[in-house]
Structure 1
Amino acid sequence: MIKFNRRKLMQVGVAAATAAALMGSTALAQDEPLKVGFMLIGTPNDNGWNFGHKVGADYMKEQLGDAVEITIVEEVPEGPDAERVLRDLASTGHDLIFATSFGYGDYVIKVAQQFPDVVFDHATGYQRSENVGTYNARFHEGRAVAGTIAGYMSETGKAGYIGSFPIPEVVMGINSFTLAAQKVNPDFTMTPVYISTWNDPAKEADAARAMLDQGIDVIAQHTDGPAALQVVEERGAVGGFGQGADMSEFAPQAQLTSIIDWWGPHYVETAQAVIDGTWESGDSWPGLKEGAVVMGPYGPTVPAEVAAAADAVREGQIDGSFNIFTGPIYDSNGELRVPEGETLTDEQLLTMDWYVQGVNPPS
C-alpha cells in the first residue's frame, strides 16, 4: 500500500537545505502549506449538507492553521463538470482533494489515475484506489433516533421520506427510521418519494405538501435544505427532522430533532496524515459513538418521555447494546430478510436495495 506524502515539496526542501549547507548558510528550507481542495454540490448557505462540510473545513483550518491552505469550489453538479473541477484542483497544486457528493465517484477515480501523487477522499463513495479513499457517517443511526420520536408522536402512524436517489445510503436510512418507529407503533408506515436531486427547494416543498395532503403528519428527508421542514411548520403538522445540520432556525416548532454531520475531525486527521506522509487508502464510516453523527436538541413539542426514549436508542447505539438492523426483519413483500438474533453486516448495509415491511415502495 502506497503511503502518500508531500514528495515534491520534501524533495525541494532537501535540495534547498543541501545547497544552503554547501554555501555555509544557516537558512532553512520552508515547506509550503498543504493545499486542500473541497468540491461541493451546492453552497454552504443550504444550511444542511454543504454547510456541514464548510464547517468541517473551517475546523480543519482552525486546528492546523498555516499548515493548510483551503480552496472550496461550490455548486459543482454530478456530471462532466465535476471532472473538470477535480482536474483543475489537482493541476494547481492541491495535494488533497475532498469530493463531497456520491455522484462524483467515477470522476474521482478517473482523475486520480491521472494524478497519482494527489490524495483524493470521496464522501459517501465506495470506489477506492491507491490514492483514493472514501469516508461517510452512519446517518442511519440518527434515523433510528428520529424514527423513535416519530413512532411516539405521529397521530396518523404515517410518515413521509423525501429522498434524493434510491442509493443504499438513502434506502438504509428509510429502513432504519421505519423499523425504529415500528418498535413503538407496529402499524407505522412510511412513504418515500425521490426527487432525483440533492437540493431543489421547490421540489422538496412540493413533495412535503403532497405528503401532508395524503394524511402524513411526520416528514423526514435525505436532501440538503430546510424547505420541507418549512412546509411542515407552515401547515402545523406534527413535525419533521433536520438533515445535515440543525435547521431549527427555519422551523422552530416543526423540527423535532436533527441529524448533524460533524466532518471536522476527519478533515483534520486526513490532512495531518498527508502532511506526515502516513496517509493510506481506506474507508472511514464512524457514527454516533465516534461523534461523526450528532443529534440536535429536541424541539419544544417533544414530550420528556419521548425524549427519554430517543436518548435510550441513541445511547444504545453508542454502547453497542442496540442495533436497529437486528432481526427478525421482513421486507416489503413479506419475505424474512434477517432472521431473529442476526444483525446485518456493514457490507449488507452498504449494498441495501430493498425496503422493510411497512414501507410503500416508490413506483
Structure 2
Amino acid sequence: MSSDLPVGAVLDSGEPARLLASKLNRHTFWCGQSGSGKTYALGVLLEQVLLHTSLPIVVLDPNSDFVKLGSVREDAPSEGSALSGRDIRVLRPGADHDPLKVRFVDMDIRSRAAILQLDPILDREEFNVMLRTDTVQIDKIDEPLVDLLRRTDDPQFQQIAMRLENLGVTEWDLWAWGAADVTDVIDEKADATVVDLGSFGTPEEQQATALAALDHLWAHRDERIGRLVVIDEAHNLCPPTPSTPLERLLTDRIVQIAAEGRKYGIWLLLSTQRPSKVHPNALSQCDNLGLMKMSSARDLAELGDVFGYAPQQMLQRSPAFTQGQVLFAGGFTPNPQLVQVSPRLTHEGGADVAVPLR
C-alpha cells in the first residue's frame, strides 16, 4: 500500500488530498471549535493510519468518541472491509471483555502519591510508609489493597488504608489489583487500543488511568517502539494551569513526552477545541497542524505565532470553514492545503444528538 494517507479532497481544486504517513513521527496538534467536525475528521485520519501503516495507535478517549473505531459502516466503500481485519481493542470500565483496569501497586511511586494527595516532604511519614509497602509484597496480591493493609499489625499501614477510604479511592471502578490492566493490553501492540476514559464516573479516574498508561510508555521508552498516542479533548488531561497533584503530574508527563518522546517513538496527537486550553509547553512541540473552523481572532493569532509554517492567508480562512473542512500544515503535508475530509468508514462514537421533531 501507498505510504500516503488519502484523507479527502483539496478545496480549491478537488484533487485528492493526502498526508505523509512517514511524518507522523512528529507531534501533531489538531483543533477546531465545537461543531467543526473535529472528532469526525480525526477519525478519518486514524482509519487511514490503520489501513496504510502498521503503526500501533493508543487513543486516550475522554468522551468515548472512538469506541466504535472497529465498527465498519454498512455503506462504507470496499476499502472499509480491510478495517474489519485490524486488531482494534476497546477497553471500557465494567466490560466483560477487555475491561479497563489499572494496577495501583504497579504505578510509579509519584503517581500513587498524587492519587493519595501525599507530599514527600509535608506528608513525609505517610509517604515513607507507602514506600515501605513493598515489604508486604503488594505486587503479589489479588485483593483490594485496603483489606491487606488493615490486616497488618502496623498502625501506619492502617493509616494509608484510612486515607484510601477517606479519599474515596477504594470506590473507583478502576483497580485491577492482581488482574490484567491497561498496560498489559498496550504491551500487546494491537493496531489500535482505545482507552475509554469517558465511561468513568470522576475526572480523577480518567486522569489516573491516563497517567498509568503514559507512565508505562515512558518507562519503556528505550524499547523505541513507534506509537501514535492520541489524546482527544487534550484540555481534560493537559490544561495550562493544572490544579491538583494528580492533574499536575499528568500534565508534566505529557509535557515531558512532548519535549523528549519523539526520539523514542512516542508521538503525540493532541486534539482540542482551542489552543489556549492546552499547556503551552506541549503545544509548542507540535510540528504538524490540523486546523478546522476557528472563529476566535485571538486563537487564530496564537496559532499563527506557534505554527509559523501555516500560511497566514490560509489561517484567516478558518472562520469561514464549513463542517469537515480543515487546514493541514507542517511536516505531514507536502504543502499547506485546505481539505474537505472524506466520509468515515467506521461509526462515530460521539455523534451529535438530533433534535426530535414532531
TM-score by length of 1: 0.32
